[in-house]
Amino acid sequence: MTEPSQGEAMPEPTRCGFAAIIGAPNAGKSTLVNRLVGSKVAIVSPKVQTTRARVLGIALEGPAQIIWVDTPGIFEPRRRLERAMVATAWKGAEDADLLIHLVDATRGIDPDVRRIMNGLKGSGRKAILALNKIDQIRLERLLPLTAEMADAGVYSETFMISALNGDGVADLSRRVAALMPASPWLYPEDQIADISQRLLAAEITREKLFLQLHEEVPYAVAVETETWEEHRDGSVRIGQVVFVMKASQKAIVLGKGGARIKAISTAARTEIAQMLGRPVHLLLFVKERPNWQDEREVYEIQGIDWSAGER
């Protein structure tokens, strides 16, 4: 019989929790979640209000499983869709074990940042402050901003990061891991996202629409994965509908001789195929649906909580 050796260390207890990233539109929340997870789970574009629903990215950090909650930006909402997005962001914050306020340091304390600081003050919860985009700002500007924000009394600590190049991100992740509650892991260890492949595929197409369209058009589109056929040769045939609100937008999305939709489709197909690791045939149909922003069904398709937009 072998006795267990005396010096054998007990395995560290596992930790698991939700860390929500809140911030103004364009602060870099989705970029940060993708970097933390090490894979693309959230779509990113230079335009504001790209993220509409709550997206979870799941990552392991030592004995901790951190469920990162990417939220739509917090800003002053006007329309129903915007109200639903902002409500979703605050709800994500409420439900989380830990809050990270991500700030675009190059923009400083603008009205959106102020609104979030006031919201935190009202809630009585402390957040971790993460000043982002430090690759684009000089230290002389960063230090006064850090001091001014720390004075607000709503932050427990401050990190300076670049979600884009990864500077400081590992430190933030390790710190958050240490703050997670002792708990079994809630997801299998190889899971990195909680949305279905159908929704992720629709999101990828929406990202390409956001990147290739301008002015009001990106905000008028919604994407639904309608069909998903697995073929015996290993390929997948995916049919998606792109909803727009008016005929003029449809014409823009299609482009001259269908050139625009073709370019969007090619970009989306390439990325969906990469995600799935197999060949993809992607068919996009553009349809007018003038009132989709008032239709519950289209919110649900996109993973957005309809009732969150109620006044």
Ligand X SMILES: Nc1nc2c(ncn2[C@@H]2O[C@H](COP(=O)(O)OP(=O)(O)O)[C@@H](O)[C@H]2O)c(=O)[nH]1
CB of residue 92 to ligand X, shortest distance in Å: 13
CB of residue 167 to ligand X, shortest distance in Å: 8
Quickly count: other Cβ atoms within 10 Å of residue 21's Cβ.
31
CB of residue 86 to ligand X, shortest distance in Å: 13
Rg value, the chain, Cα: 21
Nearer to ligand X, 3 or 215 (CB): 215
Tokens found for residue 87: 């409500």
Phi and psi, residue 78, nearest 5°: -120, -50
Q: Which helix (H) or strand (E) holds 248?
A: helix 247-254
CB of residue 33 to ligand X, shortest distance in Å: 8
Q: What is the binding site for ligand X (CB under 6 A)?
A: 23, 25-31, 44-46, 50-51, 73, 132-133, 135-136, 162-164
Q: Are 58 and 187 in contact (CB under 8 A)?
A: yes
Instruction: Establish if 31 lies at the interface with Mg ion (CB under 5 A).
Output: no
Nearer to ligand X, 163 or 308 (CB): 163
Choose the stretch contacting Mg ion; rule: CB under 5 A; options: 10-18, 50-58, 59-67, 90-98: 50-58
Judged by beta carbon distances under 5 to 8 A according to partner kind, the member of Mg ion, ligand X, none in contact with residue 57 is none
Q: Where does 139-233 have alpha helices with state H?
A: 139-150, 169-179, 197-212
* Sole binder of Mg ion in the list 45, 49, 51, 173 (CB under 5 A): 51
* Cβ partners under 8 Å of residue 152, min gap 6: 117, 121
Angle between helices 259-276 and 247-254 (to 10 degrees): 70
Nearer to Mg ion, 92 or 119 (CB): 92
CB of residue 246 to ligand X, shortest distance in Å: 26
Nearer to Mg ion, 97 or 207 (CB): 207
Query: Per DSSP, what are the bridge partners of residue 143?
Result: none
Please give the residue whose beta carbon sits closest to ligand X in the complex.
Answer: 28
Total number of residues shown for the chain: 311
Query: Per DSSP, what are the bridge partners of residue 158?
Result: 129
CB of residue 47 to ligand X, shortest distance in Å: 8
Judged by beta carbon distances under 5 to 8 A according to partner kind, the member of ligand X, Mg ion, none in contact with residue 132 is ligand X
Nearer to ligand X, 50 or 225 (CB): 50
Judged by beta carbon distances under 5 to 8 A according to partner kind, the member of ligand X, Mg ion, none in contact with residue 269 is none
Nearest by Cα to 240 from 253, 256, 257: 253
Q: Are 53 and 45 in contact (CB under 8 A)?
A: no
- 35 vs 57, 58, 166, CA distance in Å? 10, 11, 7
Instruction: Establish if 30 lies at the interface with Mg ion (CB under 5 A).
Output: yes
Tokens found for residue 98: 């830990």
**What is the rounded CA–CA span in Å between residue 298 and residue 210?**
18
CB of residue 92 to Mg ion, shortest distance in Å: 12
Nearer to Mg ion, 51 or 265 (CB): 51
Nearer to Mg ion, 255 or 303 (CB): 303
Judged by beta carbon distances under 5 to 8 A according to partner kind, the member of ligand X, Mg ion, none in contact with residue 205 is none
Q: Which residues of this chain interact with Mg ion, rule CB under 5 A?
A: 29-30, 50-51
